[in-house]
């Protein structure tokens, strides 16, 4: 039997991984060339949220293959592709981008925006953060980076617009 028939085609995506307690690690994660959820290749957020126990990570320096416990991954940072930039711009115009500030348990303070397409009856920031089917959230940074943040490492989140925040709290009952 040919061993190639059992292989799942994957490609490497360069990322910076922040792991507890190790800190910053530079390398790449493996993504399927075809996503099981949509046309095109698998996105890093899909890979992280589908990961059950260990993330396969190809470390740059020293060059080695590692398996990180997904629960110890604080966040992943990577540059948005042109496609992701275009999708984010589309989501900014069709949805209201939720600009927010996140304080993480490792002391990091992150300012960015969430640009996910959410159902109208669950479009609040609180609804997005409370989604139980995903361990990581996607935050777009102004410099073109994307952060995938492990929700279990978020200490608190707040938004700039007090009117929006008050309206969200009124609907949280």
Of 26, 27, 164, the residue nearest 100 (C-alpha): 164
Residue 2: C-alpha distances to residues 5, 6, 7, 40, 151 (Å): 6, 8, 10, 26, 41
Residues 45-61 have pLDDT tens digits of: 999 999 989 999 999 99
Q: Which helix (H) or strand (E) holds 157?
A: strand 154-159
pLDDT digits (tens, 9 = 90+) for 112-163: 999 988 888 888 889 899 999 999 999 999 999 999 999 999 999 998 764 5
pTM of the model: 0.84
Instruction: Walk me through the domains of the chain, giving residue ranges and CATH numbers.
Output: 9-76 (no CATH), 79-171 (2.30.30.100)
Give the tens place of pLDDT for each residue, 13-32: 999 999 999 999 999 999 99
Is residue 53 helix, strand or coil? coil
Over residues 69-97, the pLDDT tens digits come to: 999 999 999 999 887 766 656 655 556 78
Q: How far apart are CA 68 and CA 57, in angstroms?
A: 7
**How many Å from the N-terminal Cα to the C-terminal Cα in the chain?**
59
Q: Is the pLDDT of residue 1 over 80?
A: no
Which candidate, 140, 139, 173, 172, places its Cα nearest to that of 153? 139
Q: Residue 73, CB half-sphere, CA atoms under 13 Å: how many?
A: 31
Average pLDDT, the chain: 87
Give the per-residue pLDDT at 82.
80
């Amino acid at each position: 039997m040919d061993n190639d028939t059992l292989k799942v085609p994957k490609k490497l995506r360069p990322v910076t991984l922040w792991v507890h307690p190790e800190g910053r690690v530079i390398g790449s994660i493996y993504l399927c060339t075809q996503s099981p959820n949509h046309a095109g290749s698998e996105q890093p957020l899909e890979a992280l949220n589908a990961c059950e126990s260990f993330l396969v990570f190809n470390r740059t320096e020293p060059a080695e293959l590692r398996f990180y416990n997904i629960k110890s991954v604080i966040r992943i940072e990577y540059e948005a592709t042109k496609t992701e930039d275009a999708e984010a711009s589309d989501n900014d115009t069709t949805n209201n981008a939720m600009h927010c500030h996140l304080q993480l348990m490792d002391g990091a303070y992150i300012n960015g925006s969430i640009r996910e397409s959410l159902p109208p009856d669950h479009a609040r920031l609180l609804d997005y953060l409370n989604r139980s089917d995903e361990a990581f959230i996607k935050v777009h940074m102004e410099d073109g980076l994307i952060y995938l943040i492990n929700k279990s490492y978020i200490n608190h989140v707040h938004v700039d617009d007090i009117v929006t925040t008050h309206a969200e709290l009124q609907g949280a009952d």
